[in-house]
């Protein structure tokens, strides 16, 4: 008899708990409607792990709505710093559980889109107001809401640059590229940051190569490669790259003059003279080519005079 009573008690408790957890969702919804967001959050959480309610789209939609409202409450959101994350995750969970075309799938899609749009608009507004720190945080939230969207990473990187937080900028650009999105401006920024702010010429050179692969028609990246190679004191490599650039722009007197200077720097004065003259044929008023050729001739003259002076009479 005692055994039967124990079994009956367990059954009653199980049914009571199940009923209670089921009621939690309804109670949380009612608290949400009343605006009691803190209590609503406490009420909904057990339902997200209970067997009978954890796989219901309604459970996760109500959870999404609760945390969405909390995220919009400036005071309350301080107690729930992950509210936006929970809202986004819950909207997505709703859409995973309920098939497309169902009520809660549709409601969750609308809620998710509004959450994304509101967060993005906040970032744009803060940027326009000159509050780059707030804008940066907003764009980081955008990328959290939708990690597969490029907008948050791109704008976040731009804000980080404005704030001179170069590591954060590079981190966001890296995430952008990981999505196989390579805007020309982003590549240019990464090259600049590695070369000028991080003093990492090798990394800058790595991204110049990527830029050339993505934008083969843009000769500026090849010129940047030459500049970087010169900075790295790899003059022979720079000569090879500059010759290739000239092959693409044979009428560019500036490139020809620069090639002459590279030969000058490597003390290959014969080729330097050839290319200075070629640059002047293309552009007779090229001041740099004229001056450098004159210096080269003076150097040759000095060398000859030294030989003369060293000769025994």
The band of 261, judged by pLDDT with boundaries at 50, 70 and 90, is confident
Give tens-digit pLDDT for 179-194. Answer: 999 999 999 999 999 9
pLDDT at 216 over 70: yes
Cα angle, residue 14 at apex, residues 13 and 20 outer, rounded to 5°: 85
What is the residue-averaged pLDDT of the chain? 89
Using CB atoms within 10 Å of the CB of residue 148, give its burial: 0 to 12 exposed, 13 to 18 middle, 19+ buried. Answer: exposed
Decide if 252 contacts 246 (C-beta within 8 A): yes
Decide if 172 contacts 160 (C-beta within 8 A): yes
DSSP one-letter string for 15-48? HHHHHHHHHHHHHHHHHHHHT-HHHHHHHHGGGG
Domains along the chain with CATH numbers: 26-72+88-129 (1.25.40), 252-313 (1.25.40)
Instruction: Name which of 259, 202, 269 is nearest 236 in CA terms.
Output: 259
The band of 24, judged by pLDDT with boundaries at 50, 70 and 90, is confident
DSSP one-letter string for 129-169? TT-HHHHHHHHHHHHHH-TT-HHHHHHHHHHHHHTT-HHHH
- How far from the centroid of its chain's Cα atoms is residue 23's Cα? 44
């Amino acid at each position: 008899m005692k055994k039967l009573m124990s079994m009956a008690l367990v059954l009653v408790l199980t049914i009571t708990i199940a009923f209670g957890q089921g009621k939690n969702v309804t109670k949380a919804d009612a608290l949400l409607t009343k605006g009691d967001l803190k209590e609503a959050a406490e009420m909904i959480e057990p339902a997200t792990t209970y067997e009978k309610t954890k796989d219901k789209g309604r459970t996760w939609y109500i959870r999404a709505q609760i945390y969405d409202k909390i995220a919009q409450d400036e005071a309350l959101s301080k107690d729930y710093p992950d509210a936006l994350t929970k809202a986004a995750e819950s909207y997505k969970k709703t859409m995973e559980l309920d098939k497309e075309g169902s009520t809660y799938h549709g409601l969750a899609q609308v809620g998710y889109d509004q959450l994304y749009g509101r967060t993005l608009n906040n970032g744009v507004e803060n940027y326009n107001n000159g509050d780059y720190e707030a804008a940066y945080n907003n764009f980081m939230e955008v990328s959290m809401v939708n990690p597969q969207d490029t907008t948050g990473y791109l704008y976040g990187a731009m804000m980080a640059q404005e704030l001179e937080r170069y590591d954060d900028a590079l981190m966001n650009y890296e995430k952008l590229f990981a999505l196989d999105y390579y805007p020309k401006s982003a590549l240019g920024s990464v090259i600049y940051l590695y070369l000028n702010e991080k003093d990492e010429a090798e990394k800058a050179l790595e991204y110049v190569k990527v830029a050339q692969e993505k934008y083969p028609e843009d000769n500026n990246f090849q010129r940047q490669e030459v500049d970087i190679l010169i900075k790295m004191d790899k003059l022979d490599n720079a000569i090879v790259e500059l010759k290739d650039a000239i092959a693409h722009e044979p009428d560019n007197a500036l490139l020809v003059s620069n090639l002459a200077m590279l030969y000058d720097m490597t003390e290959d004065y014969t080729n330097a003279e050839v290319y200075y003259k070629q640059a002047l044929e293309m552009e007779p008023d090229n001041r740099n080519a004229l001056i450098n050729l004159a210096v080269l001739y003076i150097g040759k003259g000095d060398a000859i005079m030294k030989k003369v002076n060293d000769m025994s009479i």
